[in-house]
Structure 1
Amino acid sequence: RTLPCSGRNLLPSTCGENRRRVVRALATREPNLRPGIPDLNVLRSGIAAVLSVALAWALRSDSLLWASPVSVVPQQWITEQRTISGVVVSVSDGDTFRLQNVGPFHPTQDRHHEQSFPVRLAGVDAPEISHFGNPAQPFSEEAKEWMKQELLGKSVAVHILGRDQYGRIVGSVRYTSGLFSHDLATELLRRGFATIYRGRGASYDGDLSNLEATEINAKAQGVGIWSLPDEELPAEYKRRTRARAF
């Protein structure tokens, strides 16, 4: 582009060597930073580096893991029985829900069902809902509705204990209600919405004595399934319906 040499232009009007010197100086000059004002590019680079380190620490933390919502739970997490946190996106019944393992600032509207995985609560057995043509057990819907009220759309912590024959993550679960943290299995037992699971591969995360004491107290108070005159435990119901199927 030809630079004008007349009018109010700031370049010298001689248009000779002086003009060429000024052009070269403008093209090659270093940023003229005022004292005390940092370069914005340097600031951006520093912030990016700090965020990268923080993200790497969070993903490698042994106590709390955040992962991509579409990732499959790694076998290493199961082997090491790690604790993961996420948002409950649906409730299947009184002891099973789907968890999306995402960070706390992930938009709620992006929490899709297909990006989640099933979690089976360890240590307890809730009444069976209606499925495969079998009628629902008493208090199965009450247990499911209570789970929805307590967990749906909220963040929970799952201590992974294993994986069951259906591919579900099995673990103990803690959630916050009000100002307090609660153990999910204990709260279900307290209300008579579940019994202690005694089947194959049962795991209690070292809390069996507390679960047993809670169940005994629920029986004594006659709450939930213990209010029925002839209650059929979930394990008994499943044995009966399986036998009838064959």
Structure 2
Amino acid sequence: MDDSIGLLHPQVLLLSGGLVSCVLLGLRVYHRYIKRVSTYLELTPRMLQNGHKMYGRVTRVGDGDNFRFFHTPGGIKGGWGWLRKVPALPKELKDQTLLIRLCGIDAPERAHFGNKAQPYSEEALNWLKNYILQRNVRITPYSIDQYKRVVARCQVWTWTGLRDVSAEMVRNGMAVVYESKATAEFGDSELKYRTLEAKAKRQGKGLWSLGNKLVTPGEYKRETK
């Protein structure tokens, strides 16, 4: 009589099920806490459509509304800061960061392509640097724009809680609400941004202090295109 255990024996099925569960759990842990996203090409449609949260470090601020983001999946739980470290040198960061465009807002344009800088462009850049550079942030990616930037909400931890960076820039008069609704990404915060913009305008904060001399970033780009 054959005493061997067949493939359909309950013990075999139980063991197989356990192994499959372990593999699936391992893959889930890997994708959530270990695997890094280093280029926009690695962002899946699911990540862009389902409110996917990504944790990381701001390594460079290049303009008043965009920055470089080094993904640190899992944060401290993922080993960052004690087992894994964010590279410090520019050459080590090459091709390892996402270029993030803050959602819902537009900051004054800096000088480029032979066009002069807008008023408050340097103030907006310095404000953003002081607020997030070399800090850990959480982003929610929404889309990829024509310049291969990841349009995303960025949130940073402060003493008063988690703050939406786009909202804080509008609140302080360092940016306006994005003017082209056809291509804008607001998440669920458009009304909030517009309310903050109206208040900053009434109070003459930042670029709103220019009054009738103000040329919005959208108008400036259309004039200099």
TM-score range, shorter chain: 0.7 to 0.9
Gaps of 5+ in 1: 1-51
Q: Which whole-Å deviations, capped at 9, do the CAs of 1:113-169 have from their partners, x for residues lacking one?
A: 431110111100000011111111111111111111111111111111111111111
Report the CA distance shift for 1:80/1:69 in structure 2 as closer, same or farther (over 3 A): closer
The residue aligned with 2:19 is none
Q: Which whole-Å deviations, capped at 9, do the CAs of 1:31-85 have from their partners, x for residues lacking one?
A: xxxxxxxxxxxxxxxxxxxxx9987444444xxx653364543223224442211
Given that 2:107 and 2:124 are in contact with CA atoms closer than 8 Å, whether structure 1 keeps it comes out as yes
Given that 1:129 and 1:137 are in contact with CA atoms closer than 8 Å, whether structure 2 keeps it comes out as yes
Gaps of 5+ in 2: 1-22
Q: How many residues get paired?
A: 188
Q: Choose 1 or 2 for highest CA Rg.
A: 1
The reply on whether 1:209 has 2:202 as its aligned counterpart is no
The residue aligned with 1:85 is 55
The residue aligned with 2:7 is none
The residue aligned with 1:221 is 203
* RMSD of aligned Cα (Å): 2.2
Q: Report sequence identity in percent.
A: 31
Given that 1:66 and 1:85 are in contact with CA atoms closer than 8 Å, whether structure 2 keeps it comes out as no
Give the whole-Å Cα distance in 1 for the aligned partners of 2:31 and 2:87: 27
Give the whole-Å Cα distance in 2 for the aligned partners of 1:177 and 1:192: 20
Point out which structure has higher relative CO (alpha carbons under 8 A, 6+ apart).
2
Q: Could you state the TM-score of these two structures normalised by the residue count of structure 2?
A: 0.76
Given that 1:125 and 1:195 are in contact with CA atoms closer than 8 Å, whether structure 2 keeps it comes out as yes
| Comparing 172-181 and 110-119, the one that deviates more | 110-119
Secondary structure of the corresponding residue to residue 240 of structure 1: helix
